[in-house]
């Protein structure tokens, strides 16, 4: 089986690269499993101060793997994405996301759970769930604390595409930078983190994410159950099947 997520440790950074171009880094069972395993390894690594999540291709994440969802439901997959968000939020090391390409639906859960997110100005975002008879249930665990309430209502309900500048304005990403400056800005952030002591980073992150983690713990099971229920509904299955047929 070809690995879909890679881990490399160098210069004090554990870099996790999503590399599933055939489905635009959709959150398949394999990708989520490998990402979680690499996060565990990266967080335990004594040579690194930070974890960087990036992608090898032009798309960061296209959301749930709809082919898997139509074929076998999302009960376990929904639980796994709740666990993944919690894992990112509770890692002892800061998790930095480098966004050089679009993010859709479930992929925003990775963004919401991360500590620092640097996005290229050309990047677009979209919570597409309502257009498939679904709701952004499991990723709401990390997204709603990031958005202001009016922005959340707008973006969850209209499913409109929004850009990196707006994502920064509503609190989803740390900042948006010109595309040509993305790598340099991420390197600068990682260099700043490298100046800190591990204990300082760990304890500061725990303070910052206390409410987020409590929210995931309180709501995670119910959100996963609701997501699985929606994915299994006739309305959603009809919408997802039609969407997959249009893509062929």
In the chain, where the domains are located: 5-179
The confidence band for 74, taking pLDDT boundaries of 50, 70 and 90, is confident
Question: Does the pLDDT value for residue 247 go beyond 80?
Answer: no
Question: Does the pLDDT value for residue 73 go beyond 80?
Answer: no
The answer to whether the beta carbons of residues 72 and 65 sit under 8 Å apart is: no
- Average of per-residue pLDDT values in the chain: 96
What would the pLDDT profile of 172-228 be if each residue is shown by its tens digit?
999 999 999 999 999 999 999 999 999 999 999 999 999 999 999 999 999 999 999
What would the pLDDT profile of 19-53 be if each residue is shown by its tens digit?
999 999 999 999 999 999 999 999 999 999 999 99
In the prediction, which pLDDT does 47 show? 93
Question: Does the pLDDT value for residue 125 go beyond 90?
Answer: yes
The confidence band for 1, taking pLDDT boundaries of 50, 70 and 90, is confident
Question: Does the pLDDT value for residue 156 go beyond 80?
Answer: yes
Q: Which of 3.30.300.30, 3.40.50.720, 3.90.226.10, 3.30.2350.10 is the CATH number of 5-179?
A: 3.90.226.10
In the prediction, which pLDDT does 84 show? 98
Selection from 196, 216, 203, 202 nearest residue 146 by Cα: 216
In the prediction, which pLDDT does 217 show? 98
- How many Cβ atoms from other residues are within 10 Å of residue 13's Cβ? 23
Question: Does the pLDDT value for residue 248 go beyond 80?
Answer: no
Question: Does the pLDDT value for residue 72 go beyond 80?
Answer: no
The confidence band for 142, taking pLDDT boundaries of 50, 70 and 90, is very high
Question: Does the pLDDT value for residue 109 go beyond 80?
Answer: yes
């Amino acid at each position: 089986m070809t690995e879909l997520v890679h881990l490399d440790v160098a210069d004090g950074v554990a870099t996790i690269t999503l590399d599933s171009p055939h489905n635009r880094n959709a959150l398949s069972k394999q990708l989520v499993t490998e990402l979680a395993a690499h996060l565990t390894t990266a967080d335990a690594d004594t040579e690194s101060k930070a974890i960087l999540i990036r992608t090898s291709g032009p798309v960061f994440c296209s959301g749930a793997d709809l082919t898997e969802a139509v074929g076998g439901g999302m009960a376990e997959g929904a639980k796994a994405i709740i666990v993944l968000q919690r894992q990112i939020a509770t890692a002892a090391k800061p998790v930095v996301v480098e966004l050089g390409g679009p993010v859709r639906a479930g992929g925003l859960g990775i963004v919401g759970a991360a500590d620092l997110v640097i996005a290229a100005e050309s990047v677009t975002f979209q919570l597409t769930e309502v257009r498939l008879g679904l709701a952004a249930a499991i990723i709401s665990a990390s997204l709603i604390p990031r958005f202001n309430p009016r922005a959340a209502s707008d973006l969850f309900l209209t499913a409109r595409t929004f850009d990196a500048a707006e994502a920064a304005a509503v609190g989803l990403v740390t900042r948006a930078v010109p595309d040509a400056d993305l790598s340099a800005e991420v390197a600068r952030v990682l260099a700043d983190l490298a100046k800190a002591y591990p204990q300082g980073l760990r304890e500061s992150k725990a303070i910052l994410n206390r409410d987020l983690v409590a929210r995931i713990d309180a709501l995670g099971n119910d959100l996963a159950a609701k997501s699985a229920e929606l994915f299994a509904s006739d309305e959603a299955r009809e919408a997802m099947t039609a969407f997959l047929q249009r893509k062929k």
